[in-house]
Structure 1
Amino acid sequence: MTGSTRLTRSARFTAAELEAARDRLVPDVCAEGLRVLFCGINPGLMTAATGHHFARPGNRFWPVLHLSGFTPRLFHPSEQDELLSCGLGITNVVARATARADELTADEYREGGRLLAAKVERLRPRWLAVVGVTAFRAAFDDRRAAIGPRDATIGGSRVWVLPNPSGLNAHWTAATMAQEYGRLRAAASE
């Protein structure tokens, strides 16, 4: 079985299988008119190997989504398509998978921001939630961006910058991230 077809909850990958996932594209989970379209930086190798967004075990996206009230229970990454029934979706600023976000170039971020804006204009979610202030700053050339709602819209969609749920983001705990995600949930429910 290849790394891209392993979909079980307990899938383990060798270093070679993860490396083989480098540069793979992971399909978006999205539809028109969502309440919130979450936007990651780019897929990690575990995400690319499984085909499931935020699949790395230390990533806190799924627990925070549940703790903040966006989902009725804790979803596993393999259940990502169930987000659509909650009015939620997932995309990325940059489509290609890397081991670390610092492998992306400034040009990739800028082009990713341009493509993301076009996607948002086409899909028209109520909110675009970029999970990672550094990615937002790079993609939209906005060095002063901070966590929270933005005044500007993209294609009529409101924009909220959220903390990056990566386990490497030690500045935010799952609980403090859930509070910020919960602020967005409340705004998206209005």
Structure 2
Amino acid sequence: MTGPVRNERRAAREPVGSRRAPAASRYPRPTREELAAAADRTIPDLIAPGLDVLFVGINPGLWSAATGRHFARPGNRFWPALHRGGFTPRQLPPSEQEELLRYGLGITNLVDRASARADELTAEELVAGAESLTAKVERYRPRWVAVVGVTAYRIGFARPKAGFGPQPELLGGARLWVLPNPSGLNAHFTPETLGAAFAELHAATTAG
């Protein structure tokens, strides 16, 4: 079946297999051919032990798979929302994603393979992804896990009535939060309301 699917610590942490990215101008827009070829690719996690927040996307889009950068498609509101929410002192471009590790933040995905739209994923993929995410969280031990996409969370974790915000259960020992999907296709949230949702999480993570 297919379905719809800190504060800086903040001593610098050692990135896992990462290095500082070149400037954004060094990454041209992918061509149509490059985007088509990016389907089903994977991209590395941006992760390190002991993060304050590990953000979890649904799966990489084709722009992300083509460039190797999380939330890379123009129009995706993750990076503006992260800044509006108080997690970063300025709005970072995707090409500077490694800077997040300095602020105790990381990014992974529920499903590894790239697709043009998240609703191309199957329920089985989301369930398997939830199991893999749990093992990853147990390994890296972030304080908080923030899933960006309530529908994918409901399916993957068998929580059909889950809403946005803090969740009652822990995930691999981490506290759990669900955020709106920052995709430009999510018309239910404006840049302002997305920023406010991220700010609620930021307030919770800095409260203890």
Q: Given that residues 24 and 96 in structure 2 are in contact (C-alpha distance below 8 angstroms), is that contact kept between their aligned partners in structure 1? A: no
Equivalent position amino acid for 1:86 in 2: Y
Query: What does 1:166-181 align with in structure 2 at a 5 Å threshold?
Result: 166-181=183-198
Task: Tell me which moved more, 50-59 or 8-17.
Answer: 8-17
- Partner Cα separation in structure 1 for residue 62 and residue 129 of structure 2: 18
Paired-residue identity, %: 61
Is 1:74 the counterpart of 2:91? The answer is yes
1:136 to 143, 149, 153: 153
Equivalent position amino acid for 1:73 in 2: R
Structure 1: tracts of 5 or more residues without a match = 1-5
- Partner Cα separation in structure 2 for residue 164 and residue 103 of structure 1: 15
* 1:96 alignment counterpart: 113
2:179 to 162, 165, 181: 162
Aligned length: 185
* 2:126 alignment counterpart: 109
User: Runs (4+) of structure 1 moved beyond 2 Å?
Assistant: 6-10
* 2:79 alignment counterpart: 62
1:53 to 70, 78, 84: 70
2:61 to 44, 64, 70: 44
**More relative contact order, 1 or 2 (CA 8 Å, 6+ apart):** 2
* 1:35 alignment counterpart: 52
CA shift, 1:14, in A, is 1.8
Which has more strand, going by share of residues? 1
Structure 2: tracts of 5 or more residues without a match = 1-21
SS state of the match for residue 154, structure 1?
coil
CA shift, 1:132, in A, is 0.4
Please report the RMSD computed on the Cα atoms of aligned residues, expressed in angstroms: 1.3
Equivalent position amino acid for 2:45 in 1: D
TM-score where L is the length of structure 2: 0.86
Q: Given that residues 133 and 162 in structure 1 are in contact (C-alpha distance below 8 angstroms), is that contact kept between their aligned partners in structure 2? A: yes
CA shift, 1:168, in A, is 0.5
